[in-house]
Amino acid sequence: MTRQRMKGILFTQAAVLVLWAVAFGIPGKAEASENVHNQFQVSEGVNYKDIRISNSSDNQALRVTEIDTSDKNTSVEIGFPEGLNKLLTTTSLALNYHSNDHRVVSAMNASFYHVGPRIPMYLISKDNKLTFGGQQVSDDRNNYVNEPIAFGINEHGNGMIDDYQLELNYTYQGEKFELATANRARLEDSVTLYTSAFGGRTTSTNEYGTEVVVATQRKPVLEFGSAYRGKVAAVRPYGETKSSEIPENGFVLSGHGKGLEQLADMEIGDEVSFEVDIDDKWKDSSFMMASGPMLVKDGQVNLSMNPDSRRARMKAPRTAIAIDESGEKVFFITADGRQSGYAKGMTLSELAAYAVQLGADRALNLDGGGSTTMTVRYPGYDSVKVANRPSDGRQRGVSSVLMAVSTAEKPYYLYTDVNLDTTHADGIEWLTGQGIQGYEDGSFGVAKKLTRPHAAIMFTSVLGLDKPDKSAVTDYFDDIEPDDQYAAYIAAAGQAEIFNGSDGRYMPEKKLTRQQMASTLVSAFELESKGEDVDINLSNVAPSHRDSVQTLANLGITNQLEDFRPNEAVTRGQFATFLFKSEQN
């Protein structure tokens, strides 16, 4: 490493510490204490952290999902309700896009939206097509979105945060006019474009405007770089209360105020065209979503709004998206807030400083406050669950989400102590599908010795046993009381004659030995040997369990032929594999 590069690295690290200190209002040095509360690999290419930061003035609680888009089976996508005219929770939207070959492993809220009409506030595109035009960007630097800036995934599959220039125009009698927006509630003093992608059959506008319906030969899809020409088929004059129907092959120009004046001379049969385009850097993007302000640019805190404004300085729940310099790493970031004793929230400068600490080259603020929601697929589960603490105590409905998606055949690290190469991964994956979960810390407990009550739970779930009333447990075992936590499961196993106990005792405090396990498996699955006996050493197996161990060997359920280790307690991982193999016979 060169001396110059080393100096640059040290300078960058020092700059981050100074930014961190400034962000937290600490002169001279950063005194904030950071603790990783929880972390795990969600899937190939996706990692999650639950981070807590404390200092003398308040606490912070952040969640970060880091996505490696260079992984061939990992991508970042956008999701929104059908029609873009309603709100759904982050979890609901993620589940709408989740399937066996398209697994959403993390999602967070995204766009700012209007509470009244329940639509996004700013531009959204998908698959190189303008999905939603949004409202015009404010020029007031005290507002969050005061420059046209977007996050998206470009044509190379990498994350991008940059400005954009949307071209949306219509041409009439050789003169070009600007369209204010597309497929959203009509804006004042302008012309709004409607196509069949609007999500309704009509423009749903009031009588205070003029509308021109144009028929085209093909369906307009608003693909960037496209233009559509047609002829006026109908004109809805000012004062008419019935809104215009949007043709499948055609479009509607809806004018209000000054825009109304632009449409005043149009008559049936006149030729009208419109075109839509975007900067070359955004062409062929997977999606793009406008928001603001910019938080980080070129690896440094750089707010594109007034950092001294009330909105920027208030401590609040926050949501942000960030990328590294290559664009291959994308960071979902949420910061909880408005919860005394747990998390007060963050200013935009604090959020930006933390994004720099994560390694962000660029970061963009998204909708925050009560909308801030991070979801992630926890180990042992198939779909996402809420990971943060929304300030309302529940999820709010939102207009869009950003999602980390895995298309790998086996995408999951099931538990924190199980990866796809773990010896017992197949059995644990199968057992999880039967409803058996691990521990609260995200582990399965692969190496933990299996307790006899937990064995009863697994048998009950795998075999679908009916659980009798807890009081029935005394019919089978003398040392289990009806109020025992696992009484119903133990009673089910006793009723199915999987466990016979010893002198009427279940011995819940004991671990299940490997030879005892062999006998329970043979009873539970009614296993029978086929053909000649496999040569296995049974000299150290108790006589009462020898037939069962021999059966497991004959069926290939065990390959421990020289020494079955009969008196060892079976581990949870081993038991998962034995159950899996027994069920297959």
- Residue 23's pLDDT is 44
pLDDT in tens, 470-503: 999 999 999 999 999 999 999 999 999 999 877 8
The whole-number pLDDT of residue 200 equals 77
What pLDDT, on a 0 to 100 scale, did the predictor assign at position 27? Answer: 39
CATH of domain 167-277: 2.60.120
| Per-residue DSSP letter, 83 | G
Residue 222 in contact with residue 184, Cβ under 8 Å? no
Characterize the bridge pairing of strands 181-182 and 190-194: parallel
Residue 414: is its pLDDT beyond 90? no
What is the mean predicted confidence (pLDDT) over 163-190? 94
Share of the chain above pLDDT 90, in %: 78
Range in 81-90, 120-129, 521-530 the model is least confident about: 81-90
Give the list of residues 6+ apart from residue 118 with CB closer than 8 angstroms, or none. Answer: 85, 86, 87, 397, 399
pLDDT higher than 70, residue 4: no
Does pLDDT of 17 surpass 50?
no
d(CA 119, CA 397): 11
Least confident residue range of 48-52, 148-152, 301-305, 408-412: 408-412
- Residue boundaries of the structural domains of the chain: 1-29, 32-120+292-406, 167-277, 451-509
Tell me the pTM. 0.80
Q: How far apart are CA 309 and CA 338, in angstroms?
A: 19
- Give the pLDDT confidence of 38-48 residue by residue, as tens digits: 888 899 999 99
Rounded CA-CA distance 64/351 in Å is: 12
At residue 55, the pLDDT reads 76
pLDDT at res. 56: 59
| Region 439-443 average pLDDT | 85
Looking up tokens 């017992």 gives: 424
Q: How confident is the model at residue 31 (pLDDT cuts 50, 70, 90)?
A: low
Looking at per-residue confidence, does 324 or 39 come out higher? 324
Q: Is pLDDT at 26 greater than 60 in this prediction?
A: no
Spatial distance between the Cα atoms of 45 and 266, rounded to a whole number of angstroms: 55
In degrees and rounded to multiples of 5, residue 276 shows phi and psi of: -135, 135
- Can you give the pLDDT at residue 233? 98
Does residue 450 carry a pLDDT above 70?
A: yes
Sign of the C-alpha dihedral, residues 218, 224, 225, 230? positive
Rounded CA gap, 419 and 414, in Å? 6
Check: CB of residue 297 under 8 Å from CB of residue 352.
no
**182 pLDDT more than 70:** yes
pLDDT at 307: 96
Rounded CA separation 320/358 (Å): 12
The amino acid occupying position 9 is I
DSSP string, 84-148: G-S-B-HHHHHHHH-BTTBEEEEEEE---B-TTT--BSS-EEETTEEEE--PPPP--TTSS--S-
Residue 541: the pLDDT is: 96
pLDDT band at 511 (very low <50, low <70, confident <90, very high): very high
Tokens of 569: 């307690």
CB 57 within 8 A of CB 42: no
By DSSP bridging, strand 271-277 and strand 167-172 are antiparallel
Residues 192-243 pLDDT 10s: 999 998 877 999 999 999 999 999 999 999 999 999 999 999 999 999 999 9
The whole-angstrom separation of Cα 430 and Cα 458 is 12
- Supply the pLDDT for residue 577: 95
Over residues 357-402, the pLDDT tens digits come to 999 999 999 999 999 999 999 888 889 999 999 999 999 999 999 9
Mean pLDDT, the chain, whole residue set: 91
Say if residue 466 is exposed, middle or buried (CB neighbours under 10 Å; 0-12, 13-18, 19+): exposed
Q: What is the pLDDT of residue 83?
A: 67
What percent of the chain has a predicted confidence (pLDDT) above 70? 94
Round to whole Å and give the CA distance between 159 and 320: 13
Q: How confident is the model at residue 13 (pLDDT cuts 50, 70, 90)?
A: very low
Rounded distance between C-alpha atoms, residue 116 and residue 96, angstroms:
23
Higher pLDDT pick, 449 / 409: 449
In this predicted structure, which of 110-119, 159-168, 348-357, 374-383 has the lowest mean pLDDT?
110-119
Question: What's at 324, amino acid-wise?
Answer: D
Going by the DSSP 8-state scheme, the letter that residue 543 receives in this structure is G
pLDDT tens digit string along 63-107?
999 999 999 999 999 999 986 778 999 999 999 999 999 999 999
